[in-house]
Amino acid sequence: MRRRPIPEPVLRELADRAAAAGLSRRSFLGLLGAAGGAAALSACGQDSGTTATPGGVRWGNWPFYLDVDDAGHHPTLEQFQKKTGVPVTYMEDVEDCDAFFAKVRGPLAAGQDIGYDVVTLTDWMAERWVSQGYTQAVRRDQMPNTKNIMKSLASADYDPDRSHTVPWQAGLSGIAWRWDKVPNGLNSLDDLWAPELAGHVEVLSEFTSTIALALWATDVDPSSPWQSDQFEVALEYVAQHYRSGHLRGMKGNGIVDDLANKDGDIWAIVSYSGDIFQANQEEKADPKDPDPFGFAVPEAGGVIWADHFMVPKASTEVDAVQKLINFYYDPAVAAEVAAYVNYITPVVGAQEAMEKIASGLASDPLIFPDEDTLNRCPLVRGFSLDEYVDYTDRFHTALTPTDGRVTSTSTATPTPSPTTPTPTPTTATPTPTRAATQTPTPTQTPTPTQTPSPTRTRQTQAPPPADDE
């Protein structure tokens, strides 16, 4: 298995020991994340601190979600600081949206400083922050490069003009399979229910992805203002196959491990595109080998999701944050980041810029989906807190065993803490990644060689606290 060199000596040693023990890189990173990846990295000599620097930016982001060189530096971030003179404290403190919200919720709700001037959180949590008044507006006229935002992400029902949420990176939800078990691939969600796949299917426990695909399959656009009765039809579309035993159950981030288990019984899943391509990279002895796993957006439609820049309402550094966002919406800079993180960049013009630095990635459909794919992958409509709790409960109840069968669900929501957190600055460490993506159609082709890059594991949602209003 190809491995990207890890400059952090301690993490490299841990990874090597894990490999020697037969633990896959994906499983190792999962364990690291469960234990608090940012905390583990911070233990390697990093200082902690939350004090604001006048004119500076404290940025809280996910691990492995910004370009890093072999010395452990962030080249684009260093470019920004040199160009603008704005100091940035970069903290990889977002391991899970719910857990992150739990630790900042008290001071955030009280209008106090939470130790960050900008954070990047996922759609459903971003909507929560905006609807609760936890964010402050940024001025698009002070960020002229944001004119480059891709059409698919230019607006959200909870933030029509993107004055509170500006997309950072994005990804797709669709269907995936093992080529050795499903040689003809999959084209639609209905294909999951073919007789030969009975007992070999799992779906994501994040209801927004699974139900969105089921809504498409029942002729409802998930971005439209669908209601409870349409949700119920889509839920029954999935649940009937669970009751029959055709659908084994639901799973969070571990769903790809189930698919990758050669001795396991899972051959087809609902999944995130980035996780599948990371799995392809891990499983191949040579990057030129054919992908062992396929991924496609169903013919009826898929889902796009994004993580967004947001400014907490107590931050006094909106001007500096606007400079940061504007910098990362320069197509040349966006291409540098995308070449490393390998997610969909929301910046129009980055594809042309990518041709100059990594031409093989410029045709990668995970980073640059074609117009047809994007047109079939809208953002899921927003939810009120009551809706979110209700739909999550109904989804998990319908796919929870009552006959002794075992299936996985999301983890419980962390108990909110009223104390101000202590974010930890860390240095991202490169990890092995997927190779260039295959076109999301059921055709198996050899994967071209490309520079490996890390892939942030997509998080599974857990129900929010009921008293959050």
Task: Give the pLDDT confidence score for residue 343 in this predicted structure.
Answer: 85
Give me the domain span that covers residue 263.
Answer: 171-303+381-398
Q: Is residue 291 part of a domain?
A: yes
Q: Is residue 287 part of a domain?
A: yes
Task: Give the pLDDT confidence score for residue 18 in this predicted structure.
Answer: 45
More reliable by pLDDT, 367 or 405 = 367
Task: Give the pLDDT confidence score for residue 366 in this predicted structure.
Answer: 75
Q: Is residue 23 part of a domain?
A: no
When pLDDT is averaged across residues 443-461 and rounded to a whole number, the result is: 45
34 Cβ contact list (under 8 Å, min separation 6)? none
Q: Say whether pLDDT at 135 is over 80.
A: yes
The region of weakest confidence among 11-20, 232-241, 310-319 is: 11-20
How many CB atoms sit inside 10 A of residue 50's CB? 17
Task: Give the pLDDT confidence score for residue 384 in this predicted structure.
Answer: 83
Alpha-carbon 10 to chain mean position? 26
Task: Give the pLDDT confidence score for residue 50 in this predicted structure.
Answer: 62
CA distance 456 to 66: 10
Average pLDDT, the chain: 80
Q: Is residue 279 part of a domain?
A: yes
Q: Is residue 423 part of a domain?
A: no
CA distance 176 to 295: 4
Task: Give the pLDDT confidence score for residue 459 in this predicted structure.
Answer: 53
Task: Give the pLDDT confidence score for residue 274 in this predicted structure.
Answer: 77
Q: Say whether pLDDT at 44 is over 80.
A: no
Q: Is residue 222 part of a domain?
A: yes
More reliable by pLDDT, 367 or 104 = 104
More reliable by pLDDT, 140 or 343 = 140
CA distance 416 to 234: 32
Residue 51 near residue 87, CB atoms below 8 Å: no
Q: Is residue 369 part of a domain?
A: no
Q: Say whether pLDDT at 220 is over 80.
A: yes
pLDDT tens for 378-419 read 999 988 888 988 999 999 999 998 754 444 433 333 333 334
Domain count, the chain: 1
CATH number for position 292? 3.40.190.10
When pLDDT is averaged across residues 312-341 and rounded to a whole number, the result is: 96
How many CB atoms sit inside 10 A of residue 31's CB? 14
Task: Give the pLDDT confidence score for residue 403 in this predicted structure.
Answer: 56
pLDDT tens for 161-187 read 999 999 999 999 999 999 999 999 999
Task: Give the pLDDT confidence score for residue 458 in this predicted structure.
Answer: 52
